[in-house]
């Protein structure tokens, strides 16, 4: 272990599964299965001796209640050495970025030399739970060894079919405000005067760019094929609509408010997928004969008020991350922002151009920049590719790290918003 | 709430009946907010802003509204729209332009603001008239009207001073007209070089915490020297407040409200009030101090207690007071003296001692009364004492402003308390109605106002008497 010189955490590379619309071909795969596919693909692409792996940090948003530490289960299913420790985190949509930067921090601190970090989500397998009142009524009877058949019959008479037997439909709803995330985004669209047309234009841009990236094979080296239980192999993302048009998008009905502007077309959709990244200490990578691809110059994790523009956080995190890196806007070559909703991205861009915002919320003299929506997300984003919650951060890191190498540019700024009004940003640098 | 008429209005059948018979409108139940101060008190409500042209305070108004969570509507003026756009851009509160002064259909503004700070001559008043003539009808229930202008006595030009003063009459009359829907109208006179002290005052006036203040002028100036940060929430965090007569009524409400906003409260009252005071102390985690304020050693006792337990004193509220009503011709010497002693002399004596332990950026608030301003039959003793209190704060304010201490008085009108419950029933019935809002105020109305005056953001207000009277018909 490099204890003498300053330790550097570098990204060797990453791999993701195809991102499929929920309730499609990935339905029989649990989040653990998807994670297994991603990590297996990672270790196929970077064949290191398994004994070199120190630990893993995995992440998920829809976590199965019976096995919350899915990272550890992924290791078991892959047959990796049991001595590799693994923990699982959740930081809503910023989860895998968070897992990856936690791994980088651990390597820098000397806790490990080789780590795997990533995230997976199977939205198709979100648990639908029975009301808790059912558990409260059943548990005393079921857990008592003295219960008789008569006790069970009595239990049935005490049940209220409406309150105890009807499961709750899962929804992406803020506990604090009771709002669906789409409703919050709808409010942001109104507050920032982001019109329907602007949202549809942006959504179309995302789809067209993602489609071109797929056609030109840009994602080929980043995606690992997944074999389904029935033997079929899945190779590609299936949500992208390269042939979409403004007319088609305009026909869609508002999804979150009467006379609203957000539709299924300009919002990200429920998706299944996973992504994994391999990180190492710089000297260790060299000793294993691997070339580093990228490293983190900085990151910033922040929170804003959920009752006042739930998803505006990236407008705080992105300038902060750049500032922490000792850089300015001019030093950033590529910008990649997670597209929860076109309206949310456009709101963030709008606010990033406000001097007042920079002064009052960040304490900087001038706005970050007036960014044209065309100048971000060069290969499309979550609106087109889908958003398996915990895998999105990994997807962005992998694509941007590769893009820096392919294009010869130096820096990329990533920004992600999340439920609970959390946000994250990171500055990646080519090595 | 002893006000049966407001209870009646909650019954839809009765309100229909009242309308049908043609009886006058019963009072509207005021929208009040007695929860902790929040980041955005304006609750996404529409705010219509009018002005003659861009002024030194346009940006401040834009920031106040954007930060407060209001949605601005600007009357035809591109300059103003640009300023509000630039500010609103950062808060997601982009302004909308009113075309030809027409409000969008079904829009009932909750707040109407007119920036008259650059008024020059009486002819300019026509623009104020035009704005309100156009929009006042659509003001929402419990809406707010605020006009901002310059204090007449700071204007060198005679016609400017006169026009500025005229606005006070305008507001007072308007307040009488809109009170029936629970709406209030006030004017803020902001002195030159004091524009940066305006935001917290306007925030308070436009919020639901100023529900019982209407028809009043408030002066904002830069006499008080202070550079304290101005938090939007928990403004009294870390402050120690002494409240006299805090066991019950208005005093207890003040104690609760200040504790809610983070203050450490010392509840002071006579030993006879030990039970209610004790309950209150455990409720708000405050300290107790039992002492008769008329004792000569009262001041020393208080200082001793505070020095033992705390580092000093930030806030003093002289709330303890009594009434002993009698026509002067029948008023025995002991009744005269009791009231003058408790309500007036004791305050001067005690306050002198307290000044020695008051920290900088402190606040002193005295409870005066509408009776002290306008007089009241049977209250020569009370009115004398309450007017004396006004004289006291006026004289004291300039002497302590260098230390950052602001000194003010509030003059409540008819507030529903134990004290007013003892007024003869028939008198009560009538007294309650003799104001713009057609109802009595609550102890919380007084408490919220005093809490505001004691907050860091009120450092622009000193030496003033702020009436909390619902626009009482008597006095000025």
Structure token pair of residue A380: 């499309």
Give chain B positions within 8 Å (CB) of A359: 90
Residues of A with a Cβ under 8 Å from any B Cβ are: 188, 191-193, 305, 308-309, 312, 347, 350-351, 353-361
Among chain B residues, the shortest Cα distance to A346 is held by: B92
State the burial class of residue B308 (Cβ atoms within 10 Å of its Cβ: 0-12, 13-18, 19+): exposed
Is residue A229 in a domain?
A: no
Closest Cβ opposite residue B87 in set A308, A356, A361: A356
Question: pLDDT tens digit string along A179-217?
Answer: 999 999 999 999 999 999 999 999 999 999 999 999 999
Measured in angstroms, the CA of A184 and the nearest CA of chain B are apart by: 13
> Is A385 inside a domain boundary?
yes
Domains located in chain B, CATH noted: 1-30 (no CATH), 38-220 (3.40.50.720), 240-468 (3.40.50.720)
Are the beta carbons of A351 and B40 separated by less than 8 Å? no
- Structure-derived torsion over alpha carbons of residues B302, B308, B314, B317, reported in degrees to the nearest 10: -20
- A309 contacts in chain B (CB < 8 Å): 92
Instruction: For A367, name the nearest residue in chain B, comparing CA atoms only.
Output: B90
Residue B9, judged by CB atoms within 10 A of its CB (0-12, 13-18, 19+), counts as: middle
* Structure confidence at residue A17 (pLDDT): 98
The tokens describing A217, both together, are: 């094979």
Q: Is residue A361 part of a domain?
A: yes
B333 Cβ under 8 Å from any chain A Cβ: no
DSSP B469: S
CATH code of A377's domain = 3.40.47.10
Report how many Cβ contacts below 8 Å link chain A to chain B: 41
Nearest beta carbon to residue B92 from set A309, A353, A359: A309
Q: Give the C-alpha separation, B102 to B73, whole Å.
A: 10
The reply to whether A262 falls in a domain is: no
Which residues make Cβ contacts (< 8 Å) with residue B357, sequence separation at least 6? B303, B306, B307, B312, B313
Task: Identify which of B173, B171, B147 has the alpha carbon closest to the alpha carbon of residue B52.
Answer: B147
Question: Whole-angstrom Cα distance, residue B5 to residue A327?
Answer: 66
Q: How many CA atoms lie within 13 A of A306 on its CB side?
A: 15
Contact A308 B39 (CB under 8 A): yes
> Does residue B86 sit at the A interface (CB-CB below 8 Å)?
yes
Give a yes or no: residue A366 inside a domain: yes
Q: How far apart, in whole angstroms, are the C-alpha atoms of residue A101 and residue B62?
A: 40
The per-residue DSSP string of A316-384 comes to: HHHHHHHHHTT--GGG--EEEE--SBHHHHHHHHHHHT-HHHIIIII--SS-S----GGGS-TT--HHH
User: What distance in Å separates residue A125's CA from the closest CA in chain B?
Assistant: 37
Determine the 3-state secondary structure of B365 from DSSP. strand
| Helix pair A342-352, A181-191: axis angle to 10 deg | 40
Tell me whether residue A201 is in a domain: yes
Helix, strand, coil in percent for chain A, rounding step 5: 40, 20, 40
Residue B98 contacts residue B76 (beta carbons within 8 Å): yes
Nearest CA to CA, how far is A199 from chain B (Å)? 17
Q: CB neighbours of B95 closer than 8 A, spacing ≥ 6?
A: B72, B73, B74, B81, B84, B85, B88
Q: Is residue A260 part of a domain?
A: no
DSSP class of residue B344? I
Q: Which residues in chain A come in under a pLDDT of 70? A: 1-4
CB-CB under 8 Å, B94 with A192:
yes
CB atoms A356 and B93 under 8 Å: no
B91 touches chain A (CB under 8 A): yes
Interface check for B94 against chain A (CB to CB < 8 A): the answer is yes
**B94/A356 CB distance under 8 A:** no
For residues B186 and B426, is the Cβ–Cβ distance under 8 A? no
B90, A188: Cβ pair inside 8 Å?
A: no
Inter-chain residue contact B90 with A305, CB threshold 8 Å = no
pLDDT of residue A170: 87
Give the pLDDT means over successive 10-residue stretches in chain B (476 positions): 72 81 84 94 95 95 96 89 94 89 84 96 96 95 97 95 97 96 97 96 97 97 95 96 96 98 96 96 95 91 88 94 95 97 96 94 97 94 97 98 97 91 86 92 97 98 97 81
Q: Do B92 and A305 touch (CB under 8 A)?
A: no
Question: How many domains does chain A contain in total?
Answer: 1
Q: Which two tokens stand for residue A336?
A: 């990649």
Q: What's the helix, strand, coil split of chain B in %, to 5?
A: 45, 15, 35
By annotation, the residues of A acting in catalysis are 93, 387, 417
How far, in Å, are A145, A148, A166, A171 from residue A155 at the CA level? 15, 11, 17, 30
Q: Which residues pair with A116 in a beta bridge?
A: A56, A278
Structure token digits, residue A152: 């069970």
CA dihedral for A289, A290, A292, A293, sign (positive or negative): positive
Report pTM: 0.89
Q: Answer whether B59 touches A (CB < 8 Å).
A: no
Q: Which two tokens stand for residue A95?
A: 């989860």
Structural domain containing residue A361: 181-220+296-430
> Inter-chain contact B90–A350, Cβ cutoff 8 Å?
no
With 0-12 / 13-18 / 19 or more C-beta atoms within 10 angstroms meaning exposed / middle / buried, residue B51 is buried
Chain A contacts of B69, Cβ < 8 Å?
308
User: Of B133, B142, B171, B128, which is closest to residue B45 (Cα–Cα)?
Assistant: B142
CA atoms of A92 and A313, how far apart (whole Å): 13
pLDDT of residue B77: 85
Residue A20: strand pairing partners: A272
A351 → closest Cβ in B39, B67, B90: B90
> Do A192 and B39 count as a contact with CB atoms less than 8 A apart?
no
Distance CA A30, CA A22 (A): 12
Q: A228 near A29, Cβ under 8 Å?
A: yes
Residues 6+ apart with CB under 8 A from B59: B83, B87
d(CA B92, CA B95): 9
CB burial of A170-187 (b: ≥16 within 10 Å; e: otherwise) equals eebebeeeebbbbbbbbb
Per-residue pLDDT, B476:
61
Residues near B61 by Cβ (< 8 Å), separated by ≥ 6? B49, B113, B115, B148, B202
Q: Examine residue A378 and state whether it is found in any structural domain, yes or no.
A: yes
- Inter-residue contact B454 to B365 (CB < 8 Å): yes
Instruction: Report which of A362, A337, A356, A359 is spatially closest to residue A348, judged by C-alpha positions.
Output: A337
Distance between CA atoms of B30 and B448, rounded to whole angstroms? 14
Contact B90 A347 (CB under 8 A): no
How far is A282 from chain B, CA to nearest CA, in Å?
41
Helices (H), A127-279: 132-143, 149-158, 161-164, 181-191, 196-215, 246-250
Pairwise CA distance, residues B212 & B475, whole Å: 16
Active site residues of B: 382
If residue B450 lies in a helix (H) or strand (E), which one and from where to where? Answer: helix B443-453
Which candidate from B69, B90, B92 shows the least CB-CB separation from A360? B90
Q: What is the distance in angstroms between the Cα of B39 and the nearest Cα belonging to chain A?
A: 10
B455: helix, coil or strand? coil
The H or E element that residue A233 is part of is strand A233-234
Q: What pLDDT sits at residue A295?
A: 98
Selection from A308, A420, A320, A314 nearest residue B232 by Cα: A308
The residue to which tokens 């499929």 are assigned:
A20
- State the nearest Cα–Cα gap between A357 and chain B, in angstroms: 4
């Amino acid at each position: 272990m490099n204890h003498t010189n300053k330790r550097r955490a570098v990204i060797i590379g990453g791999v993701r599964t195809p991102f499929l619309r929920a309730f499609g071909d990935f339905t029989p795969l649990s989040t653990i299965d998807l994670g297994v596919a991603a990590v297996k693909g990672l270790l196929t692409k970077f064949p290191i001796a398994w004994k070199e792996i120190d630990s893993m940090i995995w992440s998920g948003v829809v976590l199965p209640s019976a096995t919350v530490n899915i990272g550890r289960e992924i290791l078991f299913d892959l047959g990796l050495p049991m001595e590799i420790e693994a923990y699982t985190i959740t930081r809503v949509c910023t989860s895998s970025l968070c897992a990856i930067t936690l791994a980088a921090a651990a390597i820098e601190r000397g806790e490990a030399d080789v780590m795997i970090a990533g995230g997976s989500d199977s939205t198709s397998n979100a648990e639908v739970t029975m009301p808790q009142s059912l558990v409260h009524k059943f548990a005393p009877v079921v857990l008592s060894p003295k219960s008789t058949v008569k006790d069970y019959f009595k239990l049935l008479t005490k049940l209220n079919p409406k309150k105890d037997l009807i499961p709750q439909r899962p929804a992406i709803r803020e506990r604090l405000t009771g709002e669906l995330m789409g409703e919050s985004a709808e409010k942001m669209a109104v507050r920032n005067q982001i019109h329907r047309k602007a949202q549809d234009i942006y959504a179309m841009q995302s789809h067209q760019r993602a489609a071109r990236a797929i056609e030109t094979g840009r994602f080929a080296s980043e995606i690992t094929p997944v074999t389904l239980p029935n033997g079929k192999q899945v190779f590609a993302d299936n949500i992208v609509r390269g042939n979409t048009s403004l007319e088609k998008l305009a026909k869609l009905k508002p999804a979150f408010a009467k006379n609203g502007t957000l539709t299924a077309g300009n919002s990200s959709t429920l998706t299944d997928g996973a992504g994994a990244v391999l990180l190492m200490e710089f000297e260790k990578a060299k000793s294993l004969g691997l070339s580093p691809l990228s490293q983190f110059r900085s990151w910033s994790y922040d929170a804003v008020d959920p009752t006042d523009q739930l998803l505006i956080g990236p407008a705080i995190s992105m300038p902060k991350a750049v500032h922490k890196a000792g850089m300015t806007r001019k030093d950033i070559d590529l910008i990649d922002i997670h597209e929860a909703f076109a309206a949310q991205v456009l709101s963030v861009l709008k606010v990033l151009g406000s001097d007042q915002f920079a002064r009052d919320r960040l304490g900087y003299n001038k706005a970050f920049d007036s960014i044209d929506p065309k100048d971000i997300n060069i290969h499309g984003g979550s609106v087109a590719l889908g958003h398996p919650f915990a895998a999105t951060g990994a997807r962005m890191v992998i694509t941007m790290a590769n893009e820096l190498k392919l294009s010869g540019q130096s820096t990329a700024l990533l920004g992600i918003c999340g439920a609970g009004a959390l946000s994250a940003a990171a500055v990646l640098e080519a090595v | 709430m002893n006000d049966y008429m407001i209870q009646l209005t909650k019954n839809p059948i009765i309100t229909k009946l009242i309308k049908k018979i043609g009886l006058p409108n019963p009072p509207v139940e005021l929208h009040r907010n007695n929860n902790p101060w929040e980041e955005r008190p304006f609750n996404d409500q529409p705010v219509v802003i009018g002005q003659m042209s861009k002024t030194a305070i346009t940006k401040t108004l834009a920031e106040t509204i954007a930060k407060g969570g209001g949605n601005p509507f600007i009357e035809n003026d591109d300059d103003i729209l640009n300023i509000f756009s630039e500010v609103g851009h950062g808060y997601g509160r982009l302004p909308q332009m009113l075309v030809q002064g027409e409000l969008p259909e079904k829009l009932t503004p909750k707040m109407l603001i007119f920036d008259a700070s650059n008024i020059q001559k009486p002819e300019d008043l026509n623009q104020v008239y035009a704005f309100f003539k156009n929009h006042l009808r659509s003001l929402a229930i419990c809406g707010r009207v605020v006009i901002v202008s310059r204090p007449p006595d700071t204007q060198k030009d005679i016609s400017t001073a006169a026009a500025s003063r005229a606005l006070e009459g305008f507001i007072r009359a308007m307040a009488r007209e809109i009170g029936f829907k629970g709406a209030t109208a006030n004017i803020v006179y902001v002195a030159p070089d004091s524009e940066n002290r305006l935001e917290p005052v306007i925030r308070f006036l436009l919020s639901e915490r100023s529900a019982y203040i209407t028809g009043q002028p408030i002066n904002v100036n830069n006499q008080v020297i202070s550079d304290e940060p101005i938090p939007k929430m928990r403004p009294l965090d870390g402050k120690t407040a002494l409240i006299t007569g805090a066991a019950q009524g208005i005093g207890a409400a003040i104690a609760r409200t200040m504790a809610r906003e983070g203050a450490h409260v010392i509840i002071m009252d006579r030993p006879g009030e030990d039970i209610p005071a004790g309950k209150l102390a455990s409720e708000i985690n405050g300290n107790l101090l039992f002492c008769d304020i008329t004792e000569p050693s009262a001041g020393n006792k208080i200082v001793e207690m505070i020095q033992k337990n705390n580092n000093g004193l930030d806030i003093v509220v002289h709330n303890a007071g009594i009434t002993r009503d009698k026509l002067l011709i029948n008023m025995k010497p002991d009744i005269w003296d009791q009231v003058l002693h408790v309500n007036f002399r004791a305050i001067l004596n005690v306050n002198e001692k307290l000044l020695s332990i008051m920290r900088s950026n402190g606040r002193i608030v005295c409870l005066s009364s509408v009776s002290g301003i306008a007089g009241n039959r049977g209250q020569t003793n009370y009115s004398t004492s309450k007017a004396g209190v006004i004289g006291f704060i006026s004289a004291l304010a300039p002497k302590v402003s260098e230390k950052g201490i602001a000194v003010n008085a509030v003059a409540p009108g008819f507030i529903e308390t134990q004290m007013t419950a003892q007024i003869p029933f028939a008198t009560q019935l009538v007294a309650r109605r003799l104001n713009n809002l057609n109802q009595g105020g609550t102890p919380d109305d007084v408490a919220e106002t005093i809490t505001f005056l004691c907050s860091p953001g009120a450092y622009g207000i000193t030496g003033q008497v702020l009436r909390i009277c619902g626009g009482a018909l008597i006095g000025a």
